[in-house]
């Protein structure tokens, strides 16, 4: 069932998501002794994450005696880490690169959107039963349409990357009714697999390698380009990399980078150089995180305060 959550006084931040989880009650939450953290984020690496900044701001607003922590988790340690989430009192964990698909066989069930996307970015503990949710898809679409003032319906799009974040964004763009979509990835087989997963009678999604000559032509005609890869990410393997350069891009393009650290990535700098419009990943990060906060705590996410905390941290 699709339920509305009004996350702030400003209705621009209202988010709709598929909820099959009954949030922990405030009474139950208050019974826990928060001597260790029961709320955090897993990924590898995690030097870039802003999640603790705005999640801890939200916890403070509600007076919840908890601390949202970053837990760098190597793939070899993932199974043990996820199993630890079944502990009594554990609330939830956000899930980021590279674990959004790898956690699926390690948990007990998936909410509807997580099934549709095929990736998980939140794991909620309910009496040792772990349910995977995906809030990236609605978070991205809200950021794009409400904050970026861009309606993807009927537009042409290119998505760079083929991981968990890409799946959520491809799902969101397809749901929004884009006219065309191409997925570009360093490994062609992964791009082809993702395109095949979401192609149907409503849209045939193309795929190509990042170095393909075909990509140059597609990018030049694109209305929207989205980077979901780790290129340009602080703490990543290619912090100075970008999937495109200014000479490849139309001045009318809108660009979204799911990478949020640094706020102005090499990709977004190239788009600005070409005269295009840019939108940074902290918007999607925060809006998906607001839904996760509500799932974990049963409290309304104070989105205005969460945005303010990110602004202070990045200014």
- The residues assigned a catalytic role are 100
Which residue spans within 44-188 are E strands per DSSP? 68-72, 92-95, 109-110, 122-126, 129-133, 156-160, 180-185
- Only one residue has tokens 């043990």, namely 80
Distance CA 37, CA 280 (A): 29
Beta bridge pairs of residue 62: none
- Only one residue has tokens 């009714």, namely 177
Distance CA 189, CA 178 (A): 23
Residues 6+ away with beta carbon under 8 Å from 213: none
Distance CA 190, CA 243 (A): 16
Q: Which two tokens stand for residue 19?
A: 């909820």
Closest CA to 228 of 266, 274, 281: 281
Q: Which two tokens stand for residue 148?
A: 């970026």
Torsion sign, CA atoms 277, 205, 100, 303: positive
Angle at 52 between CA 46 and CA 58, to 5 degrees: 160
């Amino acid at each position: 069932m699709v339920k509305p959550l009004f996350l702030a006084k400003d209705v621009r931040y209202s988010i709709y998501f598929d909820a099959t989880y009954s949030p922990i009650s405030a009474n139950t939450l208050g019974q826990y002794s928060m001597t260790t953290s029961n709320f955090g984020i897993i990924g590898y690496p995690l030097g870039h994450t802003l999640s603790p900044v705005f999640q801890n701001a939200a916890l403070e607003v509600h007076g919840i005696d908890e601390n949202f922590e970053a837990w760098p988790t190597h793939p070899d340690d993932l199974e043990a880490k996820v199993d630890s989430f079944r502990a009594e009192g554990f609330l939830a964990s956000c899930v980021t690169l590279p674990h959004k698909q790898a956690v699926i066989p390690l948990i007990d069930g998936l909410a509807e959107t997580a099934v549709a996307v095929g990736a998980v970015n939140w794991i909620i503990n309910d009496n040792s039963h772990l349910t995977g949710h995906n809030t990236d898809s609605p978070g991205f679409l809200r950021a794009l349409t409400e904050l970026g003032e861009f309606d993807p319906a009927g537009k042409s799009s290119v998505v760079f990357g083929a991981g968990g974040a890409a799946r959520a964004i491809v799902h969101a763009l397809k749901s929004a009714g884009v006219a065309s979509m191409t997925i570009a990835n360093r490994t062609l087989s992964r791009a082809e697999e993702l395109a095949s997963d979401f192609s149907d009678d409503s849209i045939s999604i193309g795929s190509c390698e990042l170095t393909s000559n075909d990509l140059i032509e597609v990018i030049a005609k694109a209305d929207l380009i989205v980077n979901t890869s780790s290129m340009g990410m602080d703490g990543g393997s290619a912090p100075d990399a970008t999937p495109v350069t200014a000479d490849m891009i139309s001045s009318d393009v809108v660009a979204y980078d799911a990478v949020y650290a640094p706020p102005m990535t090499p990709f977004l700098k190239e788009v600005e150089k070409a005269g295009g419009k840019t939108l940074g990943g902290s918007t999607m990060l925060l809006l998906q995180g607001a839904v996760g906060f509500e799932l974990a705590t049963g409290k309304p996410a104070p989105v205005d305060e969460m945005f303010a905390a990110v602004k202070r941290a990045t200014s």
